[in-house]
Structure 1
Amino acid sequence: MRNVVIPLGLAVLLYLAYDALGWMGVAAVGGGIVMWLLLHFTRLMTVMRRASERPMGYVGSAVMLNAKLKPKVNLMHVVAMTRSLGQRLSEEGQDPEIYRWTDGTDSHVTCEFVHGRLVQWTLVRPSPAEAAAADKQPDGAQGL
C-alpha cells in the first residue's frame, strides 16, 4: 500500500502546486521532494557504511537489542541500531526474511521480517552450564 500511496500523494502535491502557483510552485515542491529523497539516501548510505565496519551478524549486546526492538520497524532501522548487517538465515527472496545478531557471550536475537517490517523476534541466551563449559580453561593452563 505504501508503494502506491506515497507516489500518488507526491503527484497530487505537484498538481496542487501547479494549480496554485504554476511552474514556480512545481519547482518549489519538486525541490522539496528531491531534498527529502536525498536525506533518505544519505541516511541509508550512512547506515550501510557503519554496518560495513563491523562483522556480519554481530551486536554489542543481544539483551539490549532485544529490549530496544519494537514491532513494525523496518530492517534498515534494526541495522542502524546494531550497526551490523544480520546473518541471513532464510533463503534469498523468501518472505519472511529471518536474520540473526549474536554478541560475545553467544546470546543471539533472531528477527523475522515480513515485507521488510519486523513482526517477531526471540532472544536466546546460553544456559549457565553452557557458559561455564565455554569459560573453563584446560587443566594445564591453571595455577601458573
Structure 2
Amino acid sequence: MNWQKIFLPIAGAVLIVVAFQTYGWAGAALAVTAVAMYLLLHFNRLMHVLRRAADRPKGYVASAVMLNAKLKPGVNLLHVMAMTDSLGELISKEGEQPEMYRWTDPGDSHVTCEFAGGKLVKWTLYRPPQPDEASPPAAS
C-alpha cells in the first residue's frame, strides 16, 4: 500500500485543524491557502510535463544510453516522462501490472522500463549490434 496517498491528505487536514485551534479562522484560512498552493504547484508541474511530452513523438528519447544512466529505482512515471520529454510506448496490455514502457532513440537503441504501482522497478537497455568498422569492406 502506498502510505503517501494516505499520509498527505491527513497531514493537510491536521495542519488546518492545528492552525484553526492556534490562530482561529485566520490561521485556518492561511493553512487552506497553503494546502491549495501545494496542490496547484503539483498540478502545474504535471501539466508542464504533459505539454512538453505532447510535442514529441510517442516513445522517443534523444539518447537511450543517457536515459539508462539517469534512471533510478523507485522514481515515478511522471519523473521518467520529464527526463525524456515524451510519453513512453506502452508495451504491456492496458491496465495490466506491471506496466512496461519503451523509449527508443534514433540509433534504434531502446530502454524498456517496468513500473509496478507507478514506480520504476527495473529497466533494460538494448543496443543494436554495430558493424565492425575496423574490418575492410569485402571485395567482390
Flag whether TM exceeds 0.5 (same fold). yes
**1:113 aligned counterpart, secondary structure:** strand
For residues 22 and 95 of structure 1, the distance between their equivalents in structure 2, rounded to whole angstroms, comes to 47
Q: CA RMSD in A?
A: 1.3
Q: Which residue does the alignment assign to 2:136? A: none
Please list, as runs of the form range in 1=range in 2, the aligned pairs for 1:17-96 lying within 5 A after superposition: 17-96=19-98
For residues 102 and 44 of structure 2, the distance between their equivalents in structure 1, rounded to whole angstroms, comes to 26
Q: How many residues align?
A: 131
**2:125 aligned counterpart, secondary structure:** strand
- Give the ranges of 4+ consecutive aligned residues of structure 1 lying more than 4 Å apart after TM superposition: none
Identify the match of residue 128 of structure 2 among 126, 129, 133.
126
Q: Deviations over 1:65-91 (max 9, x none)?
A: 000001101100000000000000111
TM-score by length of 1: 0.88
For residues 14 and 95 of structure 1, the distance between their equivalents in structure 2, rounded to whole angstroms, comes to 36
Q: Which runs of 5+ in 2 are unaligned?
A: 134-140
Q: Which runs of 5+ in 1 are unaligned?
A: 133-144
Query: Percent identity over the alignment?
Result: 57
For residues 122 and 15 of structure 2, the distance between their equivalents in structure 1, rounded to whole angstroms, comes to 36
Q: Deviations over 1:48-74 (max 9, x none)?
A: 010000000000000000000011011
Identify the match of residue 114 of structure 1 among 95, 116, 124.
116
State the 1:2 CA deviation: 1.4
